[in-house]
Amino acid sequence: MALIVQKYGGTSVGTVEKIKNVAKRVARTKEQGNDVVVVVSAMSGETNRLLGLAHQISELPNERELDVVAATGEQVTIGLLAIALTEMGCKAKSICGFQIPVLTDAAYVKARIRQIRGETITQALKDGFVAVVAGFQGIDETGSITTLGRGGSDTSAVAVAAALKADVCEIYTDVDGVYTTDPNICADARKLDKISFEEMLELASLGAKVLQIRSVEFGMKYGVRIHVRSSFNDNPGTIVTTEEEIMETAVVSGVAYSKSEAKITVVKVPDRPGIAAKIFKPLSEANIVVDVIVQNVSVTGFTDLTFTIGRTDYKKAMRITEKAAKDVGAERVVGDDKIAKVSIVGMAMRSHSGVALKVFETLAAEGINILGISTSEIKISVLIEEKYTELAVRVLHGSFGLGNPA
């Protein structure tokens, strides 16, 4: 008998029929003699709908209240799934984030989990129930409801698995596992049997939304065995595991993209020590994560400073940057929220040269202009116009030989 955490994403619980299908899978796992904790997301499209309602009322809604609204999506699904399980004769109990509780910091909209107390879930299991847990939700120390950022149910699941020392955390989704790139935009993408935590971390942080980045961080830190697989079939999926367990060492192992990027340029900034800190400090204080930063060499005592942030932070970041720019005597601020970031990832890039050149040549051959570049030992990211995203992903995937052999 094992303790299994299963997480079902939005598309897997998108309709009542799909919820019944999930209930069947869960009941089967329970009948096989396992203790089962199910973590579910909101029904597909629901979180967007809820956030949309708030944005119809306010351009920049209060984030504490936004979380109160967004967190309700998951509450509906746990209730419906518990009802479906009970209807099938399988004892089930729904548990909201605050009832567990999942304690987080107070960074609304993207809260971080601080601690999960396992007793409520453990008691439900002891009493013979399947515990049906709401993903995405937390509660801060003042008792306010928080959410864990888009895709946060993955993190709820892995964190619960870590807290309960579960044998495995199965992430059920609408694709068969983790692929060399998004199989929905590149028909040639190849499913990986295994992927290292490090590579998965990198892919997730660069936009491969199959796992939220923090779920991978938790998995790595607490040694949770993560199995990403389809909720629509029984095919084995992808195991996320330690680097030592992986045999394959391709130079480039995956291509990721993110369309949720925006770019801000501060034009004609005086080139003096301390200016960058003055621009980035208020952004950091507002919990806005700045990603790629590009600064020109100054010849006239002035420079242009460009950086990217998440698109959902765009309006807030523009307001803050406009104020900071005025304070430091910059000329103006311009922004563009139709930016994408395409990245290639591979552990073996550490010891290979010429990879960046190949990226640039591949994109140049398609006439795709590079707006910014950022590199680390194991990844190269380029900023491009959003409309070229799919094309860039496909040509890079092809030129690094990642596809299925013909």
* Selection from 55, 62, 48 nearest residue 144 by Cα: 62
Query: Is 235 a binder of ligand ADP (CB under 6 A)?
Result: no
Q: Determine which residue in the list 14, 101, 151, 372 makes contact with Mg ion, applying CB under 5 A.
A: 151
Cβ distance to ligand ADP smaller for residue 137 or 303: 137
Q: What is the footprint of ligand ASP within residues 116-155 (CB under 6 A)?
A: 135-136, 150-154
Distance CA 387, CA 366 (A): 13
Q: Which stretch binds ligand ADP (CB under 6 A): 113-121, 162-170, 180-188, 275-283?
A: 180-188
CB atoms within 10 A of CB 117: 12
Alpha helices, H only, 100-187 = 119-126, 153-164
73 binds, among ligand ASP, ligand ADP, Mg ion, none (CB under 5 to 8 A by kind): ligand ASP
Q: Binding marks (x or -) toward ligand ASP, 45..84, rule CB under 6 A? A: --x-------------------------x-----------
CA-based diameter of the chain, in Å? Answer: 76
Nearest residue to Mg ion on Cβ basis: 151
Q: Determine which residue in the list 6, 10, 314, 320 makes contact with ligand ASP, applying CB under 6 A.
A: 10
Query: Is 208 a binder of ligand ADP (CB under 6 A)?
Result: yes
Query: Is 219 a binder of Mg ion (CB under 5 A)?
Result: no
Q: Determine which residue in the list 82, 133, 161, 175 makes contact with ligand ADP, applying CB under 6 A.
A: 175
Name the pairing type of β-strands 3-8 and 35-40. Answer: parallel
b/e code 65-97 from CB counts within 10 Å (16+ = b): ebbbbbbbbbbebbebbbbbbeeeebebbbbbb
Query: Is 73 a binder of ligand ADP (CB under 6 A)?
Result: no
Q: What is the footprint of ligand ADP within residues 300-329 (CB under 6 A)?
A: none
* Selection from 6, 75, 12, 82 nearest residue 38 by Cα: 6
Distance CA 267, CA 306 (A): 8
- Our separate counts of H helices and E strands in the chain read 12, 18
Query: Is 177 a binder of Mg ion (CB under 5 A)?
Result: no
Query: Is 135 a binder of Mg ion (CB under 5 A)?
Result: no
Query: Is 182 a binder of ligand ADP (CB under 6 A)?
Result: yes
Nearest residue to ligand ADP on Cβ basis: 9
Edge to edge, what strands does the sheet with 3-8 contain? 92-95, 130-134, 35-40, 3-8, 168-173, 226-230, 238-241, 194-196
Q: Determine which residue in the list 4, 9, 26, 110 makes contact with Mg ion, applying CB under 5 A.
A: 9
Query: Is 210 a binder of ligand ADP (CB under 6 A)?
Result: yes
**101: cis peptide before it, omega within 30°?**
yes
Q: Determine which residue in the list 174, 198, 271, 337 makes contact with ligand ADP, applying CB under 6 A.
A: 174
What is the phi-psi region of residue 348: left when phi exceeds 0, alpha when psi lies from -120 to 50, beta otherwise? alpha
Instruction: Decide if 266 contacts 273 (C-beta within 8 A).
Output: no
Q: Binding marks (x or -) toward ligand ADP, 28..47, rule CB under 6 A? A: -------------x------
Query: Is 166 a binder of ligand ASP (CB under 6 A)?
Result: no
Instruction: Decide if 119 contacts 131 (C-beta within 8 A).
Output: no
Query: Is 97 a binder of ligand ASP (CB under 6 A)?
Result: no
Q: Report the interface residues with Mg ion, using CB under 5 A.
A: 9, 151
Q: Report the interface residues with ligand ADP, using CB under 6 A.
A: 9-12, 41, 151, 173-175, 178-179, 181-184, 203, 208-210, 254
